[in-house]
Protein backbone atom coordinates (compact mmCIF):
# COMPACT_ATOMS: atom_id res chain seq x y z
CA UNK A 1 0.00 0.00 0.00
CA UNK A 2 1.29 3.45 -0.89
CA UNK A 3 1.49 6.16 1.78
CA UNK A 4 -0.24 9.31 0.62
CA UNK A 5 1.76 11.39 3.12
CA UNK A 6 5.22 10.03 2.32
CA UNK A 7 6.47 13.15 0.50
CA UNK A 8 5.31 15.55 3.22
CA UNK A 9 6.65 13.21 5.92
CA UNK A 10 10.06 13.26 4.26
CA UNK A 11 10.21 17.04 4.66
CA UNK A 12 10.28 16.58 8.45
CA UNK A 13 12.23 13.32 8.65
CA UNK A 14 15.70 13.72 10.15
CA UNK A 15 16.68 10.07 9.75
CA UNK A 16 20.05 9.69 8.02
CA UNK A 17 19.72 5.91 7.62
CA UNK A 18 18.57 4.67 4.23
CA UNK A 19 15.67 2.21 4.43
CA UNK A 20 12.39 1.32 2.74
CA UNK A 21 10.35 2.83 5.61
CA UNK A 22 11.68 6.38 5.24
CA UNK A 23 8.72 8.77 5.14
CA UNK A 24 6.23 6.02 5.95
CA UNK A 25 5.86 6.85 9.62
CA UNK A 26 3.44 4.08 10.59
CA UNK A 27 5.86 1.42 9.29
CA UNK A 28 8.86 3.15 10.87
CA UNK A 29 7.20 3.38 14.28
CA UNK A 30 6.06 -0.25 14.11
CA UNK A 31 9.58 -1.40 13.16
CA UNK A 32 11.27 0.44 16.01
CA UNK A 33 8.58 -0.41 18.56
CA UNK A 34 9.08 -4.13 17.88
CA UNK A 35 12.76 -3.58 18.75
CA UNK A 36 11.99 -1.50 21.86
CA UNK A 37 13.46 1.58 20.16
CA UNK A 38 12.31 5.04 19.11
CA UNK A 39 12.50 6.33 15.54
CA UNK A 40 14.99 9.03 14.52
CA UNK A 41 12.41 11.82 14.73
CA UNK A 42 12.49 11.57 18.52
CA UNK A 43 16.16 12.59 18.60
CA UNK A 44 17.95 15.85 17.84
CA UNK A 45 19.74 15.61 14.48
CA UNK A 46 23.23 15.52 16.00
CA UNK A 47 22.27 12.60 18.26
CA UNK A 48 20.30 10.79 15.56
CA UNK A 49 23.56 10.25 13.66
CA UNK A 50 24.74 7.81 16.36
CA UNK A 51 22.01 5.37 15.20
CA UNK A 52 21.39 4.59 18.89
CA UNK A 53 17.61 4.41 18.96
CA UNK A 54 17.35 2.92 22.43
CA UNK A 55 14.88 4.26 24.95
CA UNK A 56 17.73 4.45 27.49
CA UNK A 57 19.67 6.78 25.16
CA UNK A 58 16.58 8.95 24.70
CA UNK A 59 16.13 9.18 28.49
CA UNK A 60 19.80 10.14 28.98
CA UNK A 61 19.49 12.91 26.39
CA UNK A 62 16.28 14.11 28.02
CA UNK A 63 17.92 14.20 31.45
CA UNK A 64 20.83 16.18 29.98
CA UNK A 65 18.34 18.73 28.64
CA UNK A 66 19.07 17.94 24.98
CA UNK A 67 15.45 16.97 24.37
CA UNK A 68 12.55 19.17 25.41
Query: For residue 11, what are the β-bridge partners?
Result: none
61/59 Cα distance (integer angstroms): 5
What pLDDT sits at residue 2? 87
Question: Is residue 68 situated within a structural domain?
Answer: no
44/26 Cα distance (integer angstroms): 20
Per-residue pLDDT tens over the stretch 4-54: 999 999 999 999 999 999 999 999 999 999 999 999 999 999 999 999 999
Handedness of CA 17, 15, 67, 4 (dihedral sign): negative
- Count up the domains in the chain and report the number: 1
What pLDDT sits at residue 68? 84
What pLDDT sits at residue 9? 96
Domain encompassing residue 50: 6-63
What pLDDT sits at residue 42? 96
3-state secondary structure of 56: helix
Its pTM stands at 0.86
Question: Is residue 22 situated within a structural domain?
Answer: yes
What pLDDT sits at residue 13? 94
Amino acid sequence: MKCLNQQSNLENCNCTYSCSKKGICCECIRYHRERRELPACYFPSENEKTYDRSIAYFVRLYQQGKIR
